[in-house]
Amino acid sequence: MTESRREFLKKSGGCALGMAAVATQMQHLGMMSAIAQKVDDDSSRPEGGDAYKALVLIFWSGGNDGNNMVIPNHDSPTISNYNAYSAARGAQGLAIARNTLLPITVPRMGALEYGLHPALGPVAGGTNNGIHELWAQQKMAIVTNCGTLVQPTTKAQYQMSSHRKPYQLFSHSDQTAQYQTSISNTQSFTGWGGRVSDKMTAGSNPAGLIPMITSISGAQLFTAGQTTLPMAINDSNTLLANVLNPAGFTNTGGPARLTAFNQLRSLDLESNFVAAASHVTDLAMQANSALQTPGDTTTVFPNTGIGRQLRQVARLIKKRTDLNVNRQIFYCQIGGFDTHANQLASHTTLFTQFSQAVRSFYDEMGVQGVQNDVTTFTLSDFGRTLNPAGSGTGVGSDHAWGNHMFVMGGSVLGGDFYGMNTPNGTPFPTLTLGGIDDTDSSTAPRGRWIPTTSVDQYAATLARWYGLQPDQQSLVFPNVANFPTANLGFLP
Amino acid sequence: MVSMKTHNILRIFTAALAVCLMVISALAQDDPDPNSPTPILLAGPDRTRVLAVPTRRIRLFDQGAASRQAFPPNSKITIYVRNVDLMEGEGANAFRVYAEDAKGRQFRFPILAFRVSDPEKSTYAVTIRLRDDIGYWQSPIPNGDLLIRIAWRGLTSDRLRLGYGSTGGSIKDDPIPFSSARTATSKFFNNEDAAESSRPGYVGYRWSGDRMRFLEQAAFGPTSALDSRIRRIGLRTWLHEQFEAPYPSLTNPYPNIPLKSTDAQNVTLGCGANNNTLEYRTCIRDHYTMYPAQAWFFKEAYYGEPQLRHRVSWALSQIWVISGVDTQQASWLIDYHQVLSEHTFGNFRNLMKDMTLNPGMGNYLDMARSTRNNPNENYAREILQLFAVGLFMLNPDGTLQLDGQGQPIPTYDQNTVNNFTKVFTGFSFCNTTCPNSAPGIVNYKDPLILNQNNHDITAKTLLSYPGAVNQNIAPGLNGNTEIDLALDNIFMHPNVGPFVGKLLIQHMVTSDPTPAYVGRVAAVFNNNGLGIRGDLKAVVRAILLDPEARGDVKTDPNFGKLREPVQFATNIFRTFNVKSANLAQNSDGVFYPQANNLLGTMGQSAFYSPTVFNYFSPDYVIPGTSLLGPEFGVMTTGTAIARANFVNTMVFAQISTSENVPLGTKLDFAEMQALAAADATGNQLLDALNQKMMHGAMSASMRSTILTAVTNIASTNPLARAQQAIYLVATSSQYQIQR
């Protein structure tokens, strides 16, 4: 603690300077607290030859409706039961029929039964049984009522303007950014994946042939570090050997062209833009050389966007020794969750794609013998209103806040809910519009849960398992100390 | 109400008067020399160290600081700049002071004061604080020299040493001074230029490097013909012509795609059951994808006359985003684009109104489904956050306003969004009473109409700002009335000018404009000189004629922008006379398939933005730098290689014809081939590419590297030589940055 504090002060350049920077206008970056942003780029330590580990993020883009993903499947008189859920959503046609729910027993809820969305189990035309059965195998956990927070927030505090809350709640871009940065009090240009990579690359992948982070879904804030530039590649439709391979150079003058192509990137670097473009291309060319070794997955993956992304991740994991990496972080994304309308059909499609792909990936990790070394987890923009938007076949839901997240993998202490209790004494929110967990108390409350577990706690738990040193935790997750614990316990 | 109407009539009358006055003035204007002088930072006696004095001595015993030439962190010092020619209103916010430490990290020191320091008014004293203004890196460690420079209008001084904490340290002086790293373009590229401009009464634009830059900013890239035209008539006259030109080109009208059923398999109003015939596939492609809109868009970009309007409309379509991801039919998007482009040179307030009621937008951001009982806040949130005012209160120059604690001030909160959401309830598709209403289809062509029964008639509290217009809306009003009141509330917000102005500058000119530039453009947004707010024509003119945008050579390392994939492709295409695959006619403008095509793999398939936040964010900072670079949001290891592969396809092959590509696309290298054939040394070829692609500012080292690769090919193969050179210039980072 002493050491991390000293390191922190050192990195802030002294208190006076830190505070001075706060007072400065950050005209193109938005405003960032000097304290939140100070992440060093050159301190990291060897992790000491421990086993390979990978974190695989699946971002549900658009704001997944957790209310229709994890549903009370009991009749308890004391906490929200199926009827409470149905009362809030049934009339407009958004409630999932009780007899279709996939049952899960939840020790944390007094062994009551909850239900998962039916598309998370076996489905017609599926190539596997989906993720539901991982619950009983205790390889899947659910972190409940998770969301962006600056500090613990009660309903009374939510209504106080002096209480520090995330900026621009319910806004896609801002909330997505906060999930990806784990900084909710101010804008940040680095993601928590990128910052973990900044801290750990030199120690864990000292001679890695590719960056620690790979996105199979383009440039993302999550993957951006201060010094980390992630690798971004296409999905499995492109073989790894081709994914960063520039075409050409075999016709007349080809070798000379390749030589010049490479030389030009070392010139005219006094322009910062030219230098930046050349740096990205350099990185691609270096990774390309490393990706030429053969090898592919053996498990059947569904031919969907998320299926192809996860298959590409599995290919890279299989090459981990050739690539000389001991730690990897992957970003995948499945979009379409902004279900303001027509939610029932689209949600079923999305969950089918998600569940089938994740299960294939889980099985492939087993085949590769790294099931215990790879943890898959989800993030999303936000949850959605319990109160439906519209009604009938077009029914949907609007932007909200607290939400549920899946964590899956051989090391996960699965088969239970994790997270901080809400005022109802359990980690699952009270499904009452205008109730104790709803931000709204007006005449037309929408049911937007005030999160009790912060993204910071969730992320710090994942990063801790991944190997982030305790004394660096506060540098990667500057606000996690505002919460009672930085370890939610779902990983050893 | 009466006063509002009168106000509108007056506005229209004044606008008409303004147009008349501008016609007269535009024709009479000559273009001034666009080149600003290069600022010079005064050096101390040893020439490598900046002349600097502490502005305020904090401690008496620190008096020796000046002679020691090292300054503590956070201290205030004054440095001196000369060789600048300020225009009225130009001061501290037109300059930026950058520092680099021994680790190559870049910092910006805030300018606290800026004033004339000598009687001749040729030297200015710049007081700065030694504290990083950007906040990306921790502040430099005070253990040695930094290199500092001052930038102004896209030009930079050379870098000099500044002792920070102490002198010395490991930083090295620049081997080549910044000001001469890019050779200044000679005034004329060729005899034609020289002859033209020596003609008596010549009023054209003789600055050849800047002509090319201008045509990248104001058009989809230069062509020889357009370059000659501007050389003859000048920028201002060309702008005037462009403001009046019919849009789109008469030979390339908007595709007239009929509305179809939202059920594509509908037998009478859709494409019928999927029998996988050519007819079915074509029907789907032409109605249920953005294919016709994309093909039209690219033909206009390659060949269209009204380039400026097409270019600015493209920029606006990346601000007021709708996307083929959620827009089912080409007809919907085409109607949206028509409405958008109608106002590109109109008034922003009218754009706001017609975008709000556009059915494609109404679908994309759910306003068309938002009712008082089931409100949807999507549109309300985005019009505030993305389209008009942004999250934080801005100063007139676009910098953030800060509160007493140094924190930015939110422009609005969730409660404001809720209130705007209520304003926007009750509007939906006009399915029965409008010109394009028809049974079985949803009317995505006529504006949304109000059903007052679905409109929330409670009182609303809207945006609050000094002198706020219509902040409080009374209960019981008609929805149509309310929309105008609410849009006026947004439109009159002081953020709109700097917010929209900066976005347009970023799309057209440079990723990180100075506050002074943003301020000049915002001032024109606020008042076009005739008392009219929101005149986009005046805004576009101000952006393009600003001294920060103009000039033959730009030396500031932070000036410019990465060419987004659409500009990257169209600029190369226009430079090399883009044609059909057989070179016999014009290209069909088709990149196919719609999303995952040559452009999509580079991260920007036209009209398929992944979200309402566009392909990239205006706030994107390039990792590992402190540099704002929106387009770098789609520059990854994957897309960097896709760019090279795109060039490889277009230089050595073409987009071939196929079922969905009727004519294909190929570049015409005949002119370059002829130059390669005429000169076995390759110099003529390199001269031409330097002029056409690099504004005449290709560095000597870049030139010799390419020349080596060119002469590696036998001079008897001039086409291969031309291709070799074009590939290398087009894939170079030097070209991919528009600067």
Q: Say how many CA atoms lie within 13 Å of B357 toward its Cβ.
A: 16
Structure tokens at B567: 């500009």
Q: Has residue B428 got a pLDDT over 70? A: yes
**3-class DSSP state for residue B725?**
helix
**Degrees (nearest 5) of the Cα angle B522, B523, B524?**
90
Q: Does B627 touch chain A (CB under 8 A)?
A: yes
Closest in B131, B512, B706 to A260, CB measured = B706
Q: Above pLDDT 90, what percent of chain B? A: 80
Q: Does A15 touch chain B (CB under 8 A)?
A: no
Closest CA to B555 of B687, B695, B690, B686: B695
Structure tokens at B197: 């401009």
Mean pLDDT over all residues of chain A? 89
The answer to whether A316 and A215 are in contact (CB under 8 A) is: no
Chain B residues touching A24 at Cβ < 8 A: 110, 131, 133, 135, 406
**3-class DSSP state for residue B159?**
coil
DSSP H helix total and E strand total for chain A: 15, 14
**pLDDT confidence tier of residue A84, bands split at 50, 70 and 90:** very high
Give first-to-last CA distance, chain A, whole Å. Answer: 22
Structure tokens at B527: 């008042």
Residue B193: per-residue pLDDT = 64
Chain A residues touching B385 at Cβ < 8 A: 168, 171, 173
Phi/psi of residue A462, nearest 5 degrees: -65, -45
Which residues, in sequence order, are CB contacts of B163 under 8 Å at separation 6+? B49, B68, B69, B70, B71, B144, B145
**pLDDT confidence tier of residue A387, bands split at 50, 70 and 90:** very high
Q: Which residues pair with B410 in a beta bridge?
A: B392
* Distance (Å, whole) CA B366 – CA B362: 5
The answer to whether A457 and A480 are in contact (CB under 8 A) is: yes
Residue B521: per-residue pLDDT = 98
Structure tokens at B412: 């609005």
The answer to whether B424 and B448 are in contact (CB under 8 A) is: no
Q: Has residue B187 got a pLDDT over 80? A: no
Q: Does A391 touch chain B (CB under 8 A)?
A: yes
Mean pLDDT over all residues of chain B? 91
Chain B residues touching A27 at Cβ < 8 A: 398-400, 515
Which residues, in sequence order, are CB contacts of B109 under 8 Å at separation 6+? B97, B98, B99, B128, B129, B130, B131, B132, B133, B148
How much is the average pLDDT of A348-365? 98
The answer to whether B307 and B339 are in contact (CB under 8 A) is: no
Residue B32: per-residue pLDDT = 87
**Degrees (nearest 5) of the Cα angle B387, B392, B395?**
100
**pLDDT confidence tier of residue A194, bands split at 50, 70 and 90:** very high
Residue B2: per-residue pLDDT = 40
Structure tokens at B94: 């037109």
Q: Does B708 touch chain A (CB under 8 A)?
A: yes
Chain A residues touching B612 at Cβ < 8 A: 172
Listing DSSP states for A366-431 in one string gives: HHHT-GGGEEEEEEES--EEEEEES-GGG-EEEE-S-EEEEEESTTS--SSEES---TTSSSS---
| Amino acid, single-letter form, for residue A371 | Q
- DSSP letter assigned to residue B154: T
Instruction: Write out the H or E segment, with its range, that includes residue B422.
Output: helix B414-423
Residue B653: count of CB within 10 angstroms of its CB: 12
How much is the average pLDDT of B105-119? 93
**pLDDT confidence tier of residue A217, bands split at 50, 70 and 90:** very high
**pLDDT confidence tier of residue B134, bands split at 50, 70 and 90:** confident
* Distance (Å, whole) CA B431 – CA B442: 6
Phi/psi of residue A147, nearest 5 degrees: -175, 180
Strand duo B40-41 + A231-232: pairing = unpaired
Which residues, in sequence order, are CB contacts of B441 under 8 Å at separation 6+? B259, B260, B261, B262, B269, B431
pLDDT tens per residue, range B303-340: 999 999 999 999 999 999 999 988 999 999 999 999 99
Q: Has residue A35 got a pLDDT over 80? A: no
Question: A214-223, B61-70, B650-659, B662-671 — which is least confidently predicted?
Answer: B61-70
Structure tokens at B591: 């990149």
Q: Above pLDDT 70, what percent of chain A? A: 90
Q: Which residues pair with B114 in a beta bridge?
A: B126
Residue B181: per-residue pLDDT = 53
Residue B135: per-residue pLDDT = 83
3-state secondary structure B166-231: ECCCCCCCCCCCHHHHCCCCCCCCCHHHHHHHHCCCCCCCCCHHHHHHHHHHHCCCCCHHHHHHHH
Domains of chain A in start order, with CATH, are 39-231+294-482 (3.40.720), 246-279 (no CATH)
Q: Has residue A8 got a pLDDT over 60? A: no
- Cβ <8 Å between A267 and B701: yes
Closest in B129, B366, B706 to A340, CB measured = B366
- Cβ <8 Å between B557 and A398: no
Q: Does A24 touch chain B (CB under 8 A)?
A: yes
* Distance (Å, whole) CA A438 – CA A457: 21
* Distance (Å, whole) CA A210 – CA B72: 40
* Distance (Å, whole) CA B619 – CA A177: 12
Minimum distance, in Å, between the CA of residue A16 and any CA atom of chain B: 9
* Distance (Å, whole) CA B711 – CA B732: 18
Q: Does A270 touch chain B (CB under 8 A)?
A: yes
**pLDDT confidence tier of residue B120, bands split at 50, 70 and 90:** confident
* Distance (Å, whole) CA B447 – CA B334: 13
Residue A94: per-residue pLDDT = 97
Phi/psi of residue A355, nearest 5 degrees: -65, -45
Give first-to-last CA distance, chain B, whole Å. Answer: 49
Q: Does B558 touch chain A (CB under 8 A)?
A: yes
CATH code of the domain made up of B40-181: 2.60.40.10
* Distance (Å, whole) CA B672 – CA B693: 13
Structure tokens at B490: 């947004």
Angle between helices B291-303 and B330-342 (to 10 degrees): 40
Distance of CA A477 to the CA centre of its chain: 14
* Distance (Å, whole) CA A411 – CA B24: 76
**pLDDT confidence tier of residue B626, bands split at 50, 70 and 90:** confident
Q: Does A286 touch chain B (CB under 8 A)?
A: no
Minimum distance, in Å, between the CA of residue B461 and any CA atom of chain A: 16
Q: Has residue A62 got a pLDDT over 50? A: yes
Q: Has residue A20 got a pLDDT over 80? A: no
Which of B636, B649, B729 is the mutation pick for testing A, counting most A CBs within 10 A?
B636
pLDDT tens per residue, range B380-394: 999 999 999 999 999
Q: Which residue has the tokens 């290209």?
A: B587
Residue B189: per-residue pLDDT = 53
Minimum distance, in Å, between the CA of residue A263 and any CA atom of chain B: 7
Residue A10: per-residue pLDDT = 32
* CATH 2.60.40.10 domain span(s) along chain B: 40-181
Q: Has residue B369 got a pLDDT over 50? A: yes
* Distance (Å, whole) CA A283 – CA A286: 5
The answer to whether B41 and B80 are in contact (CB under 8 A) is: yes
**pLDDT confidence tier of residue B68, bands split at 50, 70 and 90:** low
Can you list the alpha helix ranges (DSSP code H) found in A221-271?
240-243, 254-264
Which residues, in sequence order, are CB contacts of B312 under 8 Å at separation 6+? B344, B345, B504, B508, B536, B540
The answer to whether B174 and B158 are in contact (CB under 8 A) is: yes
* Distance (Å, whole) CA B424 – CA B352: 13
Instruction: Write out the H or E segment, with its range, that includes residue A350.
Output: helix A343-368
* Distance (Å, whole) CA A380 – CA A335: 10
- Cβ <8 Å between A278 and B406: no
Q: Does B385 touch chain A (CB under 8 A)?
A: yes
Angle between helices B208-218 and B224-233 (to 10 degrees): 110
Q: Say how many CA atoms lie within 13 Å of A486 toward its Cβ.
A: 20
- Cβ <8 Å between A389 and B73: no
Q: What ipTM describes this predicted complex?
A: 0.93
Which residues, in sequence order, are CB contacts of B87 under 8 Å at separation 6+? B547
Q: Which residues of B252-290 are buried (b: 16+ CB within 10 A; e: fewer)?
A: bebeebebbbbebeeeebbbeeeeeeeebeebbbbbbbb
Q: Does B391 touch chain A (CB under 8 A)?
A: yes
- Cβ <8 Å between B638 and A233: yes
SS3 content of chain B, % helix, strand, coil (to 5): 40, 10, 45
Strand duo A374-380 + A403-408: pairing = antiparallel
Chain B residues touching A394 at Cβ < 8 A: 369
